Structure 1
Amino acid sequence: MAENYYTQNKSEILSIVEEQGFMSTLDLDTLLKELKDKRLVSLSLSYDDFFSKLLDDELIMHSIKIRNVVKARYTLRKIFNIYDFTYSLESRSFFPMFTSLNIQGLSNFREKFVFVSKERSQRSDFKSKNIKQDAIDNAFSKKPRMTQARDRINGFNVVMLESNNTEEIEIIQYGKYKVSSVNRAFVEVISNIQYFKSPEDVIEQFRKIKDQLDIDKIFDVIKKFDFVYPYYQLAGFYLEKIGVNKDKLNIFYEMKSTLKFYTVKNKEIYSFDDHWNIYY
């Protein structure tokens, strides 16, 4: 009887599964309950038997290992979509930085690197903001650290990040995905420069889309991120370099500290911009 129900309704069942895209084992179990409610499969059909039937009907598994935990997703779709796959890996996730810009058609920079992020449910308290120059100099003399939460799949480098809780400021809906707006992506990129070759590459990419940027919204994102380091002046430095008139950057200049800051860590020789107090 279980076999007959599945066989009789196979076309509809497989259409539903394919429509779901990438699914976890929990998603498949929930779907089985829904199919039973719709009387598309027998009430006696076990999860193992249901899963076995889907495998017979060419259910595909794709997986990556993140911090020694295998994240497997199942689909009937023959064409692999990296964004659909990575978006399914975490609930309440979004695409940050250049991945967001690439999805929005604003860039194709480092498109083989796919960043997916989620915000912590509670905001973490940062250390004291009474940071001293020698602490900054010491931190930026060291090689940058990158997350170990990454793996490769189908030629893509998947990097999973976690950010502080910012109440999703400037996270927008773009089609079926949540992504960082161009303004949030700008702040994410300049504060995670270790993932993007060099400041010069970042400047080149944002120069192409500078008219998409909103100075006030960038300021609001930096304020909400509540950085320990002096990122207002770093943002002003980058915005001037990408072609924004210095006269429009007063809100950043007014927040400039006496501290000298850096575009990137562990550079052999730096130049210095005394207007923004930035080593670059």
Structure 2
Amino acid sequence: MAGKSRFIIAESSIKSFFKQSLQNVFSREQLNGIFEERRAAWNLPIATNSVRFIDQLQKRGILTKTEILFDGYLNNKERYITDSANVFEVAVSLVNKSYLSHYTAVFLNDLTNQVPKTIYVTFEQSKKAAGNSQLKQEAIDAAFSKPQRRALTEAKYGDFSFLILNGMNTGRTGIHTIENVPVTNLERTLIDITVRPSYAGGVYSVLEAYQNALPRISLNKLVATLDNLNFIYPYHQAVGFYLERAGYSGKKLENLRSRKKEFKFYLTYEIQEKDFSEDWQLYFPKGM
């Protein structure tokens, strides 16, 4: 009883701590750390360990435990959330140093009014030594004649799905925070959905995002980000095509247009009926 009574005495302070915290989603390990750091300030008895502390947080309605079950290579996760937690905070808590991307970032950057039911969570691979693979037209044709590869690690969370993407190492290029959630910025988002259009609802949704981005986009930042990402494939041809179709015109677009176009490229994967842009040396869906 003594342990319980001391927790109740400290309850208002404990509630205030979690209410004032910028973090709304916690792992058990994080709660263990908070317990060790704050137990003296909250005057919790020696008999109270972190297991009992976490149990009291749930019993007193301060945090709610939720379990997230994965299909794929990730282990199932348990998270403890406040009443203020949203689905995006839960999603980005699942993998260390991850951020939200693709259509989720389209929504969070105000490029669509459609609330995504699939939340895209990207974590980056470790840095690898630069390869010396040379691009060939036959290899490009073969790769884009097939469906886009899709991530296999997914979890259900209420009405939402979390899709975990193992992205290339970029040094977290173009990541900013929106309401304390790390997410790709406007320019990085446009590039990511150009590279993986099926993670944004397809090429027409990508074009709509470009159109909605025009009043706010920095072409200097977009091109700098594209160059920094240093893709093997000539994605500048696809980016330029989208910008032009979205209604952008200007010196930076002409700079993109004047870049070397050694290969014929594709706007998306597995195009059934296609047209070809001479300007951008790019195949795109017929009628687009």
Determine if contact 1:95/1:180 at 8 Å carries over to the other structure.
yes
Q: Which runs of 5 or more structure 2 residues have no equivalent in the other structure?
A: none
Q: Which residue of the other structure, out of 40, 43, 66, is the alignment partner of 2:43?
A: 40
Q: Normalising by the residue count of structure 2, what TM-score does the alignment of the two structures yield? A: 0.88
For 1:69, the equivalent position in structure 2 comes to 75
1:154 pairs with 2:158: yes
* 2:162 alignment partner, SS class: strand
Q: Normalising by the residue count of structure 1, what TM-score does the alignment of the two structures yield? A: 0.90
Q: Deviations over 1:191-224 (max 9, x none)?
A: 0112123212211232122121222211111111
Determine if contact 1:256/1:276 at 8 Å carries over to the other structure.
no
Measured on the aligned residues, the alpha-carbon RMSD in Å equals 2.1
- Structure 2 counterpart of 1:139, which letter? A
Q: Which residue of the other structure, out of 143, 152, 159, is the alignment partner of 1:139?
A: 143
Q: Deviations over 1:129-149 (max 9, x none)?
A: 411000011111112111012
**Mean alpha-carbon deviation: is it higher for 34-43 or for 190-199?**
34-43
Q: Which runs of 5 or more structure 1 residues have no equivalent in the other structure?
A: none
**Mean alpha-carbon deviation: is it higher for 83-92 or for 128-137?**
83-92
Determine if contact 1:94/1:178 at 8 Å carries over to the other structure.
yes
- After TM superposition, the runs of 4+ consecutive aligned structure 1 residues lying more than 3 A away are 17-20, 125-129
**Mean alpha-carbon deviation: is it higher for 110-119 or for 266-275?**
110-119
Q: Deviations over 1:72-112 (max 9, x none)?
A: 111242x6511121122233322223322322334234522
In structure 2, the CA distance between the partners of 1:155 and 1:62, relative to structure 1 (3 Å rule), is: same
In structure 2, the CA distance between the partners of 1:191 and 1:125, relative to structure 1 (3 Å rule), is: farther
* 1:69 alignment partner, SS class: coil
Aligned residues: 278
Separation in structure 2 between the aligned mates of residue 91 and residue 138 of structure 1, nearest angstrom: 35
For 1:241, the equivalent position in structure 2 comes to 245
Deviation at 1:126, TM superposition (A): 5.5
Separation in structure 1 between the aligned mates of residue 12 and residue 205 of structure 2, nearest angstrom: 49
Separation in structure 2 between the aligned mates of residue 278 and residue 31 of structure 1, nearest angstrom: 54
Separation in structure 1 between the aligned mates of residue 98 and residue 241 of structure 2, nearest angstrom: 30
1:60 pairs with 2:75: no
In structure 2, the CA distance between the partners of 1:13 and 1:93, relative to structure 1 (3 Å rule), is: same
- Structure 2 counterpart of 1:102, which letter? F
- Structure 2 counterpart of 1:9, which letter? A
Determine if contact 1:164/1:225 at 8 Å carries over to the other structure.
no
* 1:159 alignment partner, SS class: strand
- Note the 1:7-26 alignment, pairs <5 A: 7-18=8-19, 19=21, 20-26=23-29
* 1:271 alignment partner, SS class: strand
Separation in structure 2 between the aligned mates of residue 166 and residue 237 of structure 1, nearest angstrom: 24
Determine if contact 2:240/2:257 at 8 Å carries over to the other structure.
yes
Task: Give the share of equivalent positions with the same residue, in percent.
Answer: 23
Deviation at 1:257, TM superposition (A): 2.0
For 2:95, the equivalent position in structure 1 comes to 90
**Mean alpha-carbon deviation: is it higher for 96-105 or for 181-190?**
96-105
Determine if contact 2:236/2:256 at 8 Å carries over to the other structure.
yes
For 1:27, the equivalent position in structure 2 comes to 30
* 1:178 alignment partner, SS class: strand
